[in-house]
Amino acid sequence: MAIRSFIAGIGHFLPPQTVTNFDLEKVINTTDEWIQQRSGIQTRHHVEPGTGASDLGTQAALKAIEDAQIDASEIDFIIAATLSPDHYFPGIGVMIQANLGLFPIGALDVRNQCSGFIYGLSVADQYIKAGTYKKILLVAAEVQSPNLDYSDDGRDIAVLFGDGGAAVILEAYEGEDKDKGILSTHLFSDGRFFKDLWMEVPSPREKPVFSYDMIDSKRCFPKMNGRHVFINAVEKMPDAVNTALAQNQLSIEDVDHLIPHQANDRISLMVAKKLGIPVEKVIRNIDHIGNTTAASIPIALDEALKEGRVKEGDLVVLTAFGSGFTWASAVIRW
Cβ proximity of 146 and 154 under 8 Å: no
Contacts 24+ apart (CB under 8 A), 85-88: 85/52, 85/53, 85/54, 85/109, 86/52, 86/53, 86/54, 86/143, 88/202
Running DSSP on this structure, what letter comes out for residue 282? B
CA distance 37 to 301: 24
Q: Which residues bind ligand UT7 (CB under 6 A)?
A: 30, 34, 38-39, 114, 155-156, 159, 197, 226-227, 229-230, 233, 263-264, 267, 291, 293, 322
- Minimum distance of ligand UT7 from residue 172's CB (angstroms): 32
- Please state the closest distance from residue 126 (CB atom) to ligand UT7, in A: 25
Q: Among the options 112, 232, 261, 264, which is catalytic?
A: 261
- Ranked by CB distance to ligand UT7, the top (closest) residue is 226
Q: How far is CA 162 from CA 19, 31, 276, in A?
A: 9, 17, 29
Q: How far apart are CA 316 and CA 293, in angstroms?
A: 19
Least distance between ligand UT7 and beta carbon 266 (Å): 7
Residues near 175 by Cβ (< 8 Å), separated by ≥ 6?
none
Q: Which residues contact 41 (CB under 8 A, 6 or more apart)?
A: 21, 35, 159, 160, 265, 286, 287, 290, 291
Q: Which amino acid is at 116?
A: G
Question: Choosing from 21, 45, 46, 114, which is the catalytic residue?
Answer: 114
Q: In sequence order, what are the beta bridge partners of 331?
A: 184, 317
Q: How far apart are CB 247 and ligand UT7 at their closest, in Å?
A: 25
Cis before 90? omega within 30: yes
Work out how close the CB of 30 gets to ligand UT7 at its nearest, in angstroms, rounded to a whole number.
3
Q: How far apart are CA 80 and CA 165, in angstroms?
A: 10
Catalytic (active site) residue 147: no
Annotated catalytic residue 261: yes
- Our CB check for ligand UT7 shows the closer of 78 and 143 to be 143
Nearest approach, Cβ of 201 to ligand UT7 (angstroms)?
Answer: 20
Q: Using CA atoms, how far apart are residues 126 and 123, in angstroms rounded to an integer?
A: 5
Neighbours of 14 (CB within 10 A): 23
Whichever of 81 and 137 has its CB closer to ligand UT7, that residue is 81
63 or 155: CB nearest ligand UT7: 155
The least distance separating ligand UT7 from the CB of residue 165, rounded to whole angstroms, comes to 16
291: annotated active-site residue: yes
Widest CA span in the chain: 61
Which are the catalytic amino acids? 114, 261, 291
